[in-house]
Amino acid sequence: MGVLYVFVSAAGFGVMSIFAVYAYAAGVSVSTLLFLRFLFASVLFFGLLVWRKEPLRIAKRQLLSLFVLGGILYALQSLSFFSAVRYIPTSMAALLLYTFPVFVAILSYFVDREALHAKTIVAMLLSLAGLGMVLGTSFGDIQPLGVVLALAAALFYSVYIITGNRVVKGLSPYVTSAYISLFASLSTFLLAQSNGGLDLTFAPSGWWALGGIVVFSTVVAISAFFRGLQLIGSTKASVLSTLEPVVTFAFSALLLDESFHWLQLAGGAAVLSGAVLIVAGKEEAAGQAAEGEQQASAPFA
């Protein structure tokens, strides 16, 4: 069941950019899409908290931390990713986003002083080589701005992860998701106002695409991942989540007629393999550190 929950989550996140393409075709702007996504998601998450009878009150310091996570970092990550989809194929945007484990490993080295083991370095080189294969075979057919935006999304997401690991300990994942969505909606509302205001004059089909993003690619995807995390642990859940860009590849080929060169597919496999190895390596190192602390404290127990 844990594996199934994570697969459902990966599928939800994987089709998010597909929904975005349909929303753009219906005339939805990026800022309007982001605001409506986070607004409706926050309503559903807070409703879920009421249904689960979880407390909504949190400390002021936690509230400020969640504002930074949602109102700044996650809003920037989403803005970069959804903007990238307007310039490059959805499959490429999803793959570039999955370079975030490389950024996480580098930031962890400088911020948390985590050692870069040989396995991690090899995994990073594998991901970067795969990225070069993907871009090298298609760079003449894509807009560089889209590549920059997708890589910026990966960078913002890695900062979001590093920061989140420090500030949300002890909070329910549903409480975290609710407040992050709320603060992200406030930021994207201001963004929409700076771009001429919200535009709700798009075609009715845009509401279906937005509904898919809100319900399936946000609330269901996040909730399913947290449930899978509880059942199978973070390492397996993170590794299985690499199904996400595979889902994007499949649906972009099926629904958007995107085609891929064999070298692009090989490069994509290298990027994902590197991501899996980095995640597994970080979890293994964390487990060894925890075991060492337990052994050191055992005589005093």
Q: What is the pLDDT of residue 106?
A: 86
Q: What is the pLDDT of residue 178?
A: 93
Question: Tens of pLDDT along 153-188?
Answer: 999 998 988 888 777 777 888 898 999 999 999 999
Q: What is the pLDDT of residue 282?
A: 64
- Contacting residues for 48 by C-beta, under 8 A, at least 6 apart: 174, 178, 219, 223
Point out the residues of the chain with pLDDT beneath 70: 136-141, 234-235, 282-301
CA distance 179 to 55: 12
Tell me the three-class secondary structure of 239-252, residue by residue.
HHCCHHHHHHHHHH
Q: What is the pLDDT of residue 296?
A: 28
| Token pair in block for residue 198 | 């919200």
Q: What is the pLDDT of residue 28?
A: 95
